[in-house]
Amino acid sequence: MQPAKFSHIFRPFLCGLTLVMASPFSVFAEREPPIRTGLWVMQKVSENAGALDAFANSIRANHQLTGVCLNVAWKEVEKEAGKPDFSAIDKFVAVLRGIGMKYQLCFKPGASTPPFVYADGAQSFETRVTNPHRANFGEAIVIPVPWDPIYQRNFSQVIAQLGERYASDPLCVSVVLTCANLLSAEMHLPKHGEDLAKWKALGNYEEKLLYVYKKYTDEWAKAFPRQEISLHLSKVLDLPPQFCERVIDYGLSKYPTRFTIQNCQLTGRREDTGMMTYDLVQKYRDRAHHGFQSLASLAHDGERMGSIEMAVLNVVHAQGEYWELWRGDGLSVETSAAVARAWEEGRRLGYDAYKKKLISEGEYRAKSMRRGNTAQTSAE
C-alpha cells in the first residue's frame, strides 16, 4: 500500500516530534506558575517608630493584600563602608512574619548611594530632579556611573550581605533588579538637558550598560537563588526599546522561571497600548512573568491617574499576574477592596467584554498615542 511505502520516511519525523513535545524545554511545555500574584503594596522602610506602627496597623487590617514591596535606600542602611545596619528592615520584616505575609526587597542605589562610595573614589554623575511631581523637583543630585568598579565593588558586597540575611526566609519571594538607577528602581538614568552629552563623553554607554545589567542579573540571582528577579522597565537614555529586550532576553535565557518584567507606569487614564514599557510587557507576556505598578494613587480623581476601571482594563489586557498599589491605596481597606473587585470582574469577563462594559457605562477612554515615557508617566 502507498502509506507503507513511505512509512520509513515518516517514522523518524514522528519520533522526533514526540521527543520535542515530551521535552521539559519544549515550546509546548506549560510555563511555570508565577512567584507573585494578587495585590501588593509599596512601603518605604524607615527608622521612624511611628511609621512602623502605622504600617503594622494598616497591613494587619487589610485582607486584600498578598504582599508588601519594601523599598530600601542603600544610604540609610550602610552609612559606613562594610557595616550595613539591617535593623530597620528587620523590624518591618518582623511585622510581616507575624502575619505570614510575603514581601519583596527593593534595594535602591542611584541617588540613594552612600557618600562613602564617592569618597572611596567612585565616579559620580551630577544632574537635577526633573519630575515636577516630586517634592525635590529641581534639586541637584548625584548618582554613580553604573560601570564604575568602586561603585560595583561596594554594591555587590551589600547585595551578597542582603542575600545572606533574607534569602532563606520563605516569605521573601522577590527582589528588584537594581544596578543602574536614578531615583526609583526603574531603568531610568538622567537624560535631560546636558545629561546625554555627558553620557556620550563616557564612551559606548549602550554596551557598558548591557554589561552592567547582565552582571547584576547574575548577582541578584546568586544572592537570592529561589526568589523572583524583577526588572522595572523604562526607557534608558536615548536607547531604543531593543536595549531593554536584550536585557530581558538575557534574563530569560539564564533564569526563565524567575525572571520577571514590570511596567511601573500604570494609570487609568486610557488604554496604555503605545507606551513603550506596556508594549514590551505585551510582547513578552507569553514568555516572561510580568506585573504592574501604579504610578500614583488611584483613590483621588484626576487626570494623572484616571479611573480604577481603566487601570484594570490595562492589567487585564496584558494578563498581569500581580499589581503593586501606591502606598496610600494599598494600605486603605476601602481603595484596595475597590481595586480587587474591579480586577476580579475584569478577569472574569475578559478584555473584550470588560471593554464593552466600560464603553456602555461611559467609562472607557481610547488608546494612548504616546511613545516612550514622559515625566507624567514615570516615578522618576
Query: Looking at the DSSP assignment, which residues form a beta bridge with residue 127?
Result: 141
One-letter amino acid of 304: R
CB-facing half-sphere around the CA of 136: CA atoms within 13 A: 10
CATH number for region 39-109+146-377? 3.20.20.80
pLDDT tens across 19-71, in order?
333 333 333 235 689 999 999 999 999 999 999 999 999 999 999 999 999 99
Whole-number percent of the chain with pLDDT over 70: 87
| CA-wise closest residue to 293 among 214, 345, 220, 231 | 231
What are the CA-CA distances from residue 303 to residues 186, 214, 267 (Å)? 23, 37, 10
Taking 50 as the threshold, does the pLDDT of residue 315 lie above it? yes
Taking 70 as the threshold, does the pLDDT of residue 188 lie above it? yes
Q: What is the pLDDT of residue 375?
A: 36
Phi, psi at 231, each rounded to 5°: -100, 120
Choice among 65-79, 127-141, 313-327 with the minimum mean pLDDT: 127-141
Q: Structural domain boundaries of the chain?
A: 39-109+146-377
What's the rounded Cα separation, in Å, for the pair 257 and 212? 22
CA–CA–CA angle 71, 131, 314 (5° rounding): 70
For the full predicted model, state whether its pTM sits above 0.85.
Answer: yes
Q: Provide mean pLDDT across the span 280-295.
A: 97
pLDDT tens across 260-274, in order?
999 999 999 999 999
- Between the two ends of the chain, the Cα-to-Cα distance in Å is 72
Model confidence at 105, in pLDDT bands (50, 70, 90)?
Answer: very high
Cβ atoms < 10 Å from Cβ of 142: 13
Model confidence at 87, in pLDDT bands (50, 70, 90)?
Answer: very high
Q: What is the pLDDT of residue 45?
A: 97
Q: Provide mean pLDDT across the span 95-124.
A: 98
